[in-house]
C-alpha cells in the first residue's frame, strides 16, 4: 500500500481495523487507486428527484445494473445508492466495486421547506449486501436537525462497531439558511465541520461560492483576510475546516452542466486539496461511452495527468 493511503488511514486511528480496512478498500479501488483521491458514482436521484428527471435523458439508467456496470467500467472508487438499487445488483456484481448504502432519502413529493429525509435502510442491510460504508444525508439549517443528527448518531456508532465507514452528505438547507447561503463559503465549511464533529469519515459538500452568509462569519473573513476568491482557495479553506485536512472531504457535481465547466471545477477542487468528486447526474445522464470518457478525464485530473 502506498504512503498516501497509509497517511490518510493514520487520521482515523480511533477506529477499529474493520473500518480502516473498508476505508482502504475505497482508496485502493479503481483507476485512481492509491492516490488518496476519490471519484464516486452516486445514484439516488430516482428516489430524490423521481425517475423522469433522473433517467429519461439516458433510459439505460432505469436498469439498476447499468449503474453498477458504469461505475465498474469507469474505474470509480465506489458506487453509492439506496437499498433497492443495491439489492438489484449486489449479488451479480459481488466483489467488483466497493458499495455505499445510502440509509436515508428524501423524495420530491413530500412538502415542506425544512427537509428531514426518511430512513430507508439499515446498517445490517449494508452488512448483508457487502458494503464498505453507509451514506447519510444531513441538512444543517433545517428545523429537523435534531432528528437527523440523532439518527446519524445511532447509525454511526453501529457502523463503527461493525467495521463500516461513514460517509455524510452535508447539505445546508432549511429555514436557517437562505437559498444563496446553501453554498456560501462559510456555511459549506461549517457544514463540513459539523459532519466531522458527528463522526463522519468522509464528508460530501457542494463546491462553495464566495458568498458569505453569516454576519458574524463575515467579520472574521474580512478581519483575517481569508482568501476565497478562487474555487481552489475556497476548497482549501473548507478542507482546513474539516479538521485541518485530517478528514476526507469530497465535492458533489450538482446539476448537469457543460463538460468543460466541470473539468474546470474538478481542477479547482484538486488544486485546493479536495479529495475528490461524487458525480451522479453528470455521469449517468450521458450516454455510456461518453460517461466513461468523462469520468476517465475527471480521474485523470485527480491523478495529476491533466
Identify the residue among 83, 269, 298, 301 touching a copy of itself (CB under 8 A): 83
The CA-CA-CA angle for residues 151, 206, 300, to 5°, reads 120
CB 2 to a copy of itself: min, Å: 11
Residues 177-196: x where in contact with a copy of itself by CB under 8 A, - otherwise, as a string: x--------xx-xxx-xx-x
Q: Does 14 bind a copy of itself (CB under 8 A)?
A: yes
Q: Does 108 bind a copy of itself (CB under 8 A)?
A: yes
Catalytic, out of 102, 160, 204, 206 = 204
306 belongs to the catalytic site:
no
Identify the residue among 4, 7, 107, 230 touching a copy of itself (CB under 8 A): 107
> Rule CB under 8 A: which of 30-59 touch a copy of itself?
46-47, 49-53, 55-57, 59
| Span of 9-17, 254-262, 270-278, 296-304 interacting with a copy of itself by CB under 8 A | 9-17
305 belongs to the catalytic site:
no
CB 263 to a copy of itself: min, Å: 25
> Rule CB under 8 A: which of 266-285 touch a copy of itself?
none
> Rule CB under 8 A: which of 111-150 touch a copy of itself?
111-112, 116-122, 124-125, 127-131, 140-143, 145-150
Catalytic, out of 66, 79, 139, 171 = 171
CB 5 to a copy of itself: min, Å: 8
Q: Does 197 bind a copy of itself (CB under 8 A)?
A: yes
Find, among 80, 120, 84, the residue nearest to 100 by Cα: 80
Q: Does 176 bind a copy of itself (CB under 8 A)?
A: yes
| φ and ψ of 48, to 5 deg | -75, -40
Amino acid at each position: 500500500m502506498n504512503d498516501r493511503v497509509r497517511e490518510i488511514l493514520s487520521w482515523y486511528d480511533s477506529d477499529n481495523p474493520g473500518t480502516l480496512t473498508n476505508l482502504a478498500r475505497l482508496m485502493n479501488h479503481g483507476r485512481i487507486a492509491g492516490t488518496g483521491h476519490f471519484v464516486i458514482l452516486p445514484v439516488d436521484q430516482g428516489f430524490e428527484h423521481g425517475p423522469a428527471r433522473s433517467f429519461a435523458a439516458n433510459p439505460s439508467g432505469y436498469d439498476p445494473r447499468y449503474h453498477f456496470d458504469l461505475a465498474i467500467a469507469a474505474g470509480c472508487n465506489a458506487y453509492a445508492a439506496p437499498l433497492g438499487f443495491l439489492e438489484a445488483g449486489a449479488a451479480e456484481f459481488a466483489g467488483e466495486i466497493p458499495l455505499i448504502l445510502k440509509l436515508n432519502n428524501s423524495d420530491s413529493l413530500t412538502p415542506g421547506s425544512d427537509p428531514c429525509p426518511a430512513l430507508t435502510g439499515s446498517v445490517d442491510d449494508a452488512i448483508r449486501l457487502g458494503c464498505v460504508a453507509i451514506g447519510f444525508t444531513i441538512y444543517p439549517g433545517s428545523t429537523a436537525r435534531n432528528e437527523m443528527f440523532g439518527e446519524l448518531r445511532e447509525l454511526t456508532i453501529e457502523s463503527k462497531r461493525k467495521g463500516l465507514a461513514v460517509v455524510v452528505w452535508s447539505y445546508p438547507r432549511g429555514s436557517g439558511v437562505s437559498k444563496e447561503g446553501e453554498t456560501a463559503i462559510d456555511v459549506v465549511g461549517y457544514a463540513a465541520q459539523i459532519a466531522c464533529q458527528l463522526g463522519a469519515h468522509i464528508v460530501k459538500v457542494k463546491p462553495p461560492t464566495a458568498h458569505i452568509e453569516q454576519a458574524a462569519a463575515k467579520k472574521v473573513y474580512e478581519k483575517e483576510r481569508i482568501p476565497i476568491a478562487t474555487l481552489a482557495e475556497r476548497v482549501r479553506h473548507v478542507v482546513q475546516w474539516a479538521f485541518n485536512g485530517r478528514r476526507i472531504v469530497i465535492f458533489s457535481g450538482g446539476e448537469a452542466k457543460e463538460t468543460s465547466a466541470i473539468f474546470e471545477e474538478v481542477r479547482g477542487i484538486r488544486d485546493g486539496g479536495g479529495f475528490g468528486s461524487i458525480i451522479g447526474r453528470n455521469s449517468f445522464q450521458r450516454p455510456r461511452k461518453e460517461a466513461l470518457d468523462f469520468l476517465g478525464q475527471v480521474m485523470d485530473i485527480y491523478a495529476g495527468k491533466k
